[in-house]
Chains A and B, each alone.
Chain A
């Protein structure tokens, strides 16, 4: 894991990040996670494990929820990527953020950006999820602080508020 790309063999990668066209000069095997954090200074995407287990580095890639630590940047060429920083205008964002705060869904906060992206991804597909749907949709995002209960509550509350509106 995390094998160092050969330095010196950089190439240009073009993609859209949070709605803006971006061009980076990096090794094609550089992890998308590192490119987002180091080249583009989008540090809301976090590294927890570097092997696709914890989901802290979750981003949306052409609408799919992916672990950016497992995506070589070359694979993201031409794609549209959305990170937590690019979500502020999303209709689901505010209800989720408020519900996370009210219900105690964020403790240490390191899993929170990924967790919220996973929740957005769920609610886009399923606006009225059952508890089992929420549990399953978040199963790729590990949280060591909360025991998940308050996160489930937050996602359910945000969903109820959206549906009522």
Chain B
């Protein structure tokens, strides 16, 4: 067998040339004959009963297609986990911007005017806007207690540790909502004909989520729904569940009108109406020994789910499991809950609960260090998980991970010790204070617990008579490199050149359900299945004696041709099989939470300007152990991109709420990092390998979102000696906390976020 080095090499991105020439086809680039444009009339209030709907008589309504909840042929819901969210509100609305009515017209300008010419009366009901109000339960807006989901993780006897503790350290930490801000807004086209049913082309992550939702909504069988993913201009979780909503809307308009309907949100609609990262609150109470060892603790983690259940239970799950960080807890009690508020539902965003609870953990570690009187480095060293020890869910760490080694290397790469000394000296003078902070963290790859078993993913590989191979998966490319990495794996498994392997466009009539493109699962879990399916092709050909064990691409082609001539198509499928040693108890939330964790230590260096109160990040060292790096350039791009988003999460990106509605829903007033805002992001990998993933790969997509925010806020504290427990940390927050007493007297107000 020829030795191939396709996996591990930075081969060209499969769809790269189309992207650099402008030829790549996104959904808004597609036009169908007779196509109409669709638009959504939304609720202007956060909660209430819908009253009279009036239509301004100056509009020629007869030209428009109009859809209300009454036109829904199937169930009026966006089917996902629970079916509590309506596709179109009919009696009541539970958040601002909730869709009520749909319009379509061939002329986009007329459509826009028509949307404004619909007015809706409401009988308002009292809304709940904060987690605190929601948990008070004086107003019930969802279920019996405003709680979508709660978890309890218990390990050891926490109640016994308080009396042994030399220190009991408490802290409360907050993270805000964050907009995914993919540059391509949400969009779909739907077409309908009675014979073939509904076809949807869209910008989306999970073709089969949309497929499932449309079956329920349209009341059509499996084979009468077709979902095709177009080139997708960024997603980051923001196109995990929301496309089921917008696809439903376009499908309803197409079914009613009999014409194709395109719905493309503009930026303001996308930001105001679609999902964001869940705001969170974490409370820690930790028992620590005299020498800084964690004895046990209580962690309360609460997230704001918005008005409907959507994915909150799953986001909460990941946040729960990551809440203890990469540390050994002899005993712990973790209580978590996802609460309902009258805001648009919060949803998937890179990291999925983990960046929230890890922000709290890593800020809290610095606080523990201060109380114990040791350094942030030493507190982590003394508590790191070691192989053989168990996590908070009692998962035994079987990997030979050495977190002290990762920490040492990150400190060395960042010049930590020398900088720490130099900054302490330099900060004595001047208004610009420098600081350096660290964060250690882990990120589980794949679905949590029994999730992968339920997903039951199926992957196909197909060989043609020309010897070219096609990978059949529903895993979507939206920038991360899915197409490229899965083709690398198939090429390597078959001993073929990378150029002979292509990936099918995700189309539910062509590709099997390999699960959603989420949870850092694609390279590791789907990749492994692609590898098995590809090997299946080879086995079929060798078993039929059409191919020997050692072959050239020409011999492979000849074998394929011969097989196909005799038997028809040459396809091989592989289905997920849970590793035998994975044990998980959904009731007790105990066991092997993930087949593998990626591990990381990040170091951030900042300058705090006490004249402008701005924080600038000067350097980030991102060191991670991610198993085998399948494609160095793509892997590095995942890390730099994630770090950039996390810097935004920490310092720039603030969703401003007013009556449950985002009021800064524009790129002019919701600020993401530009090319001049970011520091050098220096990426380093360690490769330990992983038995469960293809070639030992683990997931890496979400990991870089977890560490930068706490590292930055830790660095800010190092610079100015003031700890902040809430992000985003904007200049006005620093000003509030640091302003001189004289200013304080003139305008008294709480110093929110200050320690």
Contact = CB atoms under 8 A, between A and B. Distances in A.
Interface of A: 1-2, 4-7, 37, 43-51, 53-54, 56, 83-85, 88, 96-97, 100-104, 106-113, 116, 134-136, 138-152
Given A2-B266, A46-B233, A149 B20 contact: no
A56 B709 CA distance: 28
A88 B21 CA distance: 8
Interface of B: 10, 12-13, 15-26, 28-29, 107-110, 112-113, 180-185, 231-236, 266-268, 478-481, 633-634, 636-637, 640-645, 666-668, 672-676, 678, 680-681
Contact of B183 (A4, A56, A88, A135): A56
Given A4-B112, A85-B22, A150 B184 contact: no
Contact of B667 (A7, A45, A54, A135): A54
14 contacts: A4-B109, A47-B28, A50-B267, A51-B667, A85-B22, A101-B16, A108-B235, A134-B675, A139-B676, A141-B675, A144-B645, A145-B234, A145-B637, A150-B633
B73 to A, nearest CB: 32
A5 B113 CA distance: 11
A83 B22 CA distance: 9
Interface of A is mostly: loop
Nearest to A84: B22
Given A108-B233, A110-B26, A145-B479, A101 B640 contact: no
B640 A149 contact: yes
Given A48-B183, A104-B637, A145-B637, A139 B675 contact: yes
Contact of A110 (B23, B183, B643): B183
Given A88-B21, A106-B16, A150-B633, A143 B110 contact: no
Nearest to B112: A4
B442 to A, nearest CB: 21
Nearest to B16: A101
A56 B680 CA distance: 24
Contacts of A107: 234, 479-481, 637, 641
A148 B642 CA distance: 11
Given A106-B19, A108-B183, A51 B668 contact: yes
B666 A51 contact: yes
Contacts of B678: 147-149
A138 B674 CA distance: 8
A112 B516 CA distance: 26
A73 to B, nearest CB: 14
Given A48-B183, A110-B183, A148 B112 contact: no
Contacts of A84: 21-22
Question: 6 tightest CB-CB pairs across the interface, nearest first?
Answer: A44-B22, A110-B233, A109-B19, A147-B644, A108-B479, A107-B479
Nearest to A5: B109
Contact of B21 (A2, A97, A141, A151): A97
Given A7-B107, A97-B21, A138 B675 contact: yes
Contacts of B184: 46, 48, 108, 110
Nearest to A134: B675
Given A37-B29, A147-B642, A148-B644, 6 more contacts: A44-B21, A50-B266, A104-B13, A108-B479, A109-B24, A134-B675
Question: Looking at B17, B28, B478, B674, which has the most chain A CB atoms within 10 Å of its CB?
Answer: B674
Given A44-B23, A108-B184, A146-B640, A53 B676 contact: no
B633 A103 contact: yes
B113 A4 contact: yes
A4 B13 CA distance: 39
A92 B125 CA distance: 60
A4 B20 CA distance: 31
